Amino acid sequence: MRTFVALELPEAFEDEVADLARQLSGMVSGRFMKRETYHLTLAFLGEIGEAESREVIAALDEVAGSCDTVALRPESLGTFGKPRDCTLWLGLTQTDELMTLADELRTQLDKRGIAYDCKAFRPHITLARRVVLPKAPLEGLVFPAADTACRLTLFKSTLSQEGASYKPLYSVELG
């Protein structure tokens, strides 16, 4: 199964992210993510089997035992890809606590021989894909207020023509 580890978002924060996405949907064209897909990826694992998923669960338990809840501080919009076909995301401030959490998770995965995508961690919440950006800057947007993430989850990702759907397989509470 195709998997990744992410922070789940508090409901009030999700509401405000959805509000931001609504504002953006009047300014750019693209495939906006459904609200229930919002998350903050810490490590993309790709295909894993049963035995590996047990190791990932052990890694999450270990992380939860040593890491506190983390602040989510919306900072700016950002993109991956080309301006006429990009992924549009809400970037979060790289606080020490958030970067330490991602480091700790990756250390625990390394210890158990679990491979993951090693690109540098850039905390973000994906809002839309296949986005065509306008030439003019995106202005007048209301960003979500800062909040706190408390739950770390292993997700299964299923790809289909309608886009990916994500199912939580195992969660731990931080702190």
Report the interface residues with ligand 3AM, using CB under 6 A.
4, 41, 44, 117, 126, 157, 164
Q: Which residues pair with 157 in a beta bridge?
A: 166
Q: Which is nearer to ligand 3AM, 4 or 13 (CB)?
A: 4
| Of 118 and 136, CB closest to ligand 3AM | 118
- What's the min distance (Å) between Cβ of 4 and ligand 3AM? 4
Compute the least distance from the CB of residue 136 to ligand 3AM, in Å: 25
CB of 167 to ligand 3AM, least distance (A): 12
Instruction: Name the residue nearer to ligand 3AM (CB basis): 78 or 83.
Output: 78
Smaller CB separation from ligand 3AM, 85 or 136: 85
**CA distances to 1, 53, 78, 167, 171 from 50, in Å:** 9, 5, 35, 16, 16
Q: What is the secondary structure of 86-133 as a DSSP string?
A: EEEEEEE---HHHHHHHHHHHHHHHHTT-----SPP--EEEEEEEEE-
CB of 51 to ligand 3AM, least distance (A): 21
